[in-house]
Chain A
Amino acid sequence: MSSRAINRGLDVLTWLVLAIMLAPIFWLVASSLQTDGQLATGAMNLFKPTFHAFGQMWKSVDFERYLINSLIICTVAAATATAFASFAGYAIARYQFRGSRAVSLGVIGTQLIPGSMFLLPTFLGFIWLKQNTPVNLYDTRLGMILVYTAFFTPVAIYFMRYFFAAIPRDLEEAAMVDGCSRFGAFLRIVLPAAAPGLLATFVYAFLFAWDELLFVASLTQHNAETIPIGIRNFIGNYQERTAQLMAAGVVSTLPVLIAFFATQRWLVKGITAGAVKG
C-alpha cells in the first residue's frame, strides 16, 4: 500500500472517530427535540423537531430556580477560588518561603481525600452551626459557595502557578523601580498580564463546580439546590418524560459549552502547560 493511501485511510479514520465521539451529543440534542411519547415508543422523527419539551420541562421542575442557583453559586465560587489561587499561586511561583513546599504538597494532598471523608463532618458542622450559632450555612447559597471555593482553590492554584511562571520577572521589577510597592506591582502589572490565565482558571473551576453533585446533594434541602439535584428530582418524579429530561440536559450543558468554546484557547494552554512541564 502506498503511504498516500495509508494517509487517506487515517484521515477517514480520524473523521470516523470524531463522528463516534460526537454521536451521543447529537443524540442528546435530537432527542430533546422530540416529544415524550415518541421517545417512549422509539418512533422518533428527526426531520420534525419541536421545542415543546423545553417549555414543558421548564414548568414541570421549576428549572429556573436550579439554573439561577447553579449560576450564582458556581460563578461566585469559581471567581473567589480564582482570586485566592492567583494570590497563592503567585506566592508559590515567585517566592521562596518557609512552608512553601508544604503548601504545594497540601494542594496535591487535598486531591487524595475522598469527598465522603469530609462531607460528613462538614454536614455535621453546618448542622452544629445552625443549632448553636446564628450562622446558617445549611441549605444556603453562601454555604455552598464557601465549600466550592475551598474545593476548587487547590486545582486553581495548580493552574495559576504556570501562568505566573510564564510572566518575566523584569516586568514587576521595573514597576518597583518606578515606585510601585511589591503588592502594587502584583496587582497592577502581574495580574493584568496574567488575565488570560485568570480567565482560564475561572472557567476550569466553573466547569468543575457546575458538575458537583455529592456535596450539594447532602448540604442542601431546597433553597440552594443546583441543576444536578434538579435533574435527580426530575428522574424521581417523571422518569418516563425522557424528552423533557434530554431538554434539561441540553440546557444545563449550554452554559459550560459556551464558556468553554469562548475561552478554549487559554484553557487548553493552562491544562497542557501544567501537564507537559510537569
Chain B
Amino acid sequence: MSQTLEPAPEATRLRDSLPRRRPPRRSAARSRTRLAYWLIAPAVTFMVLVHLLPTIGGIVLSFKRLNTFTFARLFDAPWAGLENYRSILFDSSNPLHDGFFGAVQNTAVYTFWTVGLTLVGGLAVALLLNRPMKGIRIVRTLMLTPWIVPSFVVAILWQFMWQSDVGIVNKVLVDYTGILNDRPIWLLGHNTIWAIIIPSVWRGLPFAMLIFLAGLQAMPQELHEAAAIDGAGPFKRFRYITLPLLRPLIAVQLLFGVIYSTYQFSIPYVMFGNNPGPDADLMMTLIVRQSFSNNLFGFGAAASTLLILIMGIWVFVWYRIFKRDLEVT
C-alpha cells in the first residue's frame, strides 16, 4: 500500500477536533448527515454490487453473442446488436420464438389465476377469521402454516398428491366422493398449469389473509355501525365500506403479487424439472433452461431485459390505477 497518500497525522487530528470548536448546532446537523451516510453505506454497497451492477451487466450481455463457443470470453464476447431481441420477437424459424411466446402466455395465465385466487381467497378467509369465535387465535396462527412450508417442499408434496393413480387428490375426487368419474391426469398436458397454480395459491393465500385481517382489524367500527343503523345489509356494507377501505392493501398486494408470480421459478422447476413442458413452461424456467442448459446466455439476457420492460409497464399501469389510494395512506 502507498503510505505517502495517507493524510498526515496532524490533519487527522485537526479534522477530528473541528466539530468541538464549531458552534454546536451546525456540527450537530452535519454529524447527523454524516452518520446517516455511514449507516446506509453497507446496504447500498451490497445493493450496488449484487443488484445494480449485475443488472447493467445483464442488459449489456443482451446485446452480445454469448453462447457455448464464446463463453470463455465472458464479458468480451462479440457484439450482436439487436439480434437477440429480433430473433426472439420476430424470427418464427427460431425455435426460441415460439418457446418465448408460449412462456409469456403461460406466465400471464399463471399470474392472473394465482394472484386473483390468492387475493379473493385471502380476503374471504380474512373476513371469516375477523369474527369472534372460540379458539380464533389458534385458528389464525395455524392458518399461516402453509406459508411457512418452503416452495420446494410445496412442489414435491403436491407432485405426490397430483399422481394420477395413487395421489390423494384423485382418490378424493374419484374414489371417495365420486365428484369425477375419470381420473384426471394432472402432471401432463393441459392440466399442468393448474398443477402449479393451485399449490401457489395454497401457499400464498395465508399471507394475503394475514394482511387483509390486519386491515380489517384496524378499520374504524363506527362507519359499519352507522351504516347498519341506516339499514345497510352486510353485503352493502362490505361493498361500500370495507372494500374501499381495503383498496390500499389490495393495491400493494396486487403490485407485489404480480411481480412475484411472474418471477415464479421454484415450484415448476422442482415439480417438473428443467423443462415443465409447453403447457407449464414459465418465463423463468425458460430463461434458466436456455441460459444454463443450452448455454444461450445472450438469449437469456435479452429475454430477462424484455421481462423487466414488461414489469415496468405493469408498474406504470398499476400506478395510474391506484395513484389516488397511495396518496391517502
Query: A residues within 8 Å of B by Cβ?
Result: 7, 10-11, 13-15, 17-18, 21-22, 24-25, 27-28, 31, 39-42, 83-85, 87-88, 90-92, 94-95, 97-98, 100, 103, 106-107, 110-122, 124-125, 127-128, 146-147, 149-151, 153-154, 157, 182-183, 207, 210-211, 213-214, 217-218, 227-228, 231-232, 235-236, 242, 245-246, 248-249, 252-253, 256-257, 260-261, 264, 268, 271-272, 275-278
- Determine whether the beta carbon of A18 is less than 8 Å from that of B311: no
With both beta carbons as reference points, the residue of chain A lying nearest to B131 in the complex is identified as: A10
Known: A15-B139, A231-B152. 17 other contacts (CB 8 A): A28-B153, A88-B43, A103-B43, A106-B44, A116-B291, A117-B59, A117-B304, A119-B54, A121-B61, A146-B50, A150-B51, A227-B150, A228-B150, A231-B270, A245-B160, A246-B156, A275-B214
Stretch at the interface among B34-42, B83-91, B188-196: B34-42
Distance of A110 Cα from B75 Cα, bound (Å): 23
In the A-B complex, the 6 residue pairs with the smallest Cβ-Cβ separation, listed nearest first, are: A150-B50, A121-B57, A278-B329, A272-B214, A118-B54, A42-B166
Q: Which residue of A lies closest to B263 (CB)?
A: A114
Q: Known contacts A150-B46, A213-B270, A253-B150; decide if A231 and B315 are in contact (CB<8 Å).
A: no
In contact, B129 and A117 (Cβ under 8 angstroms): no
A246 to B163, CA, bound (A): 14
User: In the bound complex, what is the Cα–Cα distance between A127 and B40 (angstroms)?
Assistant: 29
Chain A hits for B297, CB < 8 A: 120
Which chain B residues border A120 with CB–CB below 8 Å?
54, 57-58, 61, 291, 297, 300-301, 304
| Inter-chain contacts of A84 with B (CB < 8 A) | 42-43, 46
CA distance A248 to B270 in the complex (A): 14
CA distance in complex: A28, B288 (Å): 29
Within residues 272 to 329 of chain B, which ones have a CB less than 8 A from any CB in chain A? 273, 283-284, 287-288, 291-292, 297, 300-301, 303-305, 307-308, 311-312, 315, 326, 329
Interface residues of B, Cβ cutoff 8 Å to A: 31-33, 35-40, 42-44, 46-47, 49-51, 53-55, 57-59, 61, 74-75, 125, 128-129, 131, 133-134, 139, 141-146, 148-153, 156-158, 160-161, 165-166, 168, 171, 202, 205-207, 210-211, 213-215, 218, 248-249, 252, 256, 259, 262-263, 265-266, 269-270, 273, 283-284, 287-288, 291-292, 297, 300-301, 303-305, 307-308, 311-312, 315, 326, 329
Q: Kindly report which residue of chain A lies nearest to residue B291, judged by CB atoms.
A: A120
Determine whether the beta carbon of B153 is less than 8 Å from that of A271. no
Cβ–Cβ contact B31 & A88, under 8 A: no
- Which A residues are in CB contact (< 8 Å) with B153? 28, 231, 249, 252-253
- Give the shortest distance, in Å, between A4 (CB) and chain B (any CB): 13
The answer for the CA separation of A27 and B26 in the assembled complex, in Å, is 65
**Docked-complex contact B40 and A87, CB < 8 angstroms:** yes
Residue of A nearest to B248 (CB): A278
In the assembled complex, 16 residue pairs joining A and B whose CB atoms fall closer than 8 Å, in A order, are A21-B145, A28-B153, A40-B166, A88-B44, A95-B32, A112-B259, A113-B51, A114-B283, A118-B58, A207-B148, A232-B269, A236-B273, A246-B160, A249-B156, A249-B157, A256-B150
Q: Are A275 and B249 in contact (CB under 8 A)?
A: yes
Chain B positions within 8 Å of A10 at CB level: 128, 131
Q: Across the interface, do B148 and A90 meet the contact criterion of CB distance under 8 Å?
A: no
The winner among B206, B263, B291, B303 for most chain A CB atoms within 10 A is: B263
Instruction: Find out whether the CB atom of B50 lies under 8 angstroms from the CB atom of A147.
Output: yes
With both chains docked as a complex, state the minimum distance between the C-beta of B177 and any C-beta of chain A, in angstroms: 14
B54 to A24, Cβ gap below 8 A?
Answer: no
Output the least CB separation between B102 and chain A (Å).
17
CB-based nearest A residue for B139: A18
Interface residue from A7, A17, A252 paired with B125 (Cβ < 8 Å) = A17
Of chain B, the residue at the smallest CB distance from A275 is: B211
Nearest A residue to B158, CB-CB:
A24
Residues of A within 8 A of B150 (CB): 210-211, 227-228, 252-253, 256
Pick from B47, B61, B211, B262: contact of A110, CB under 8 Å: B47
For residue A211, give the distance in angstroms from its CB to the closest CB of chain B. Answer: 5
Q: Which residue of A lies closest to B171 (CB)?
A: A42
The answer to whether B292 touches A42, judged by C-beta atoms less than 8 angstroms apart, is no
How far apart are B168's CB and chain A's nearest CB, in angstroms?
A: 6
Measured CB to CB, the closest approach of chain A to B84, in angstroms, equals 13
- B134 to chain A: which residues have CB within 8 Å? 11
Given A24-B161, A39-B166, A113-B51: A235 and B149 interface contact (C-beta under 8 Å): no
Which residues on the A side are within 8 Å of B37 (C-beta)? 91, 97
Q: A86 vs B214: C-alpha distance in the bound complex, in angstroms?
A: 24
Q: How far is the CB of A262 from chain B (nearest CB, A)?
A: 12
Kindly list chain A residues whose C-beta atoms are within 8 Å of the C-beta of B47: 106-107, 110, 150, 153-154
- Asked if A182 contacts B35 (CB within 8 A), the reply is yes
Residues of B within 8 A of A111 (CB): 256, 259
Flag if B146 contacts A14 (CB, 8 Å).
no
* Known contacts A25-B145, A112-B315, A88 near B308 by CB under 8 Å: no
Q: Which residue of A lies closest to B215 (CB)?
A: A276
On whether the beta carbons of B165 and A42 are closer than 8 Å, the reply is: yes
Q: How far is the CA of A91 from the CA of B35 in the complex (A)?
A: 8
Task: Please report the C-alpha to C-alpha distance between residue A277 and residue B206 in the assembled complex, in whole angstroms.
Answer: 20
Residues of A within 8 Å of B50, CB to CB, are 118, 122, 146-147, 150-151
- Please judge, given known A-B contacts A84-B43, A125-B57, whether A28 and B157 are in contact too, CB under 8 Å: yes
Interchain nearest-CB distance for A224 vs B (Å): 16
B42 surroundings in chain A (CB, below 8 A): 83-84, 87-88
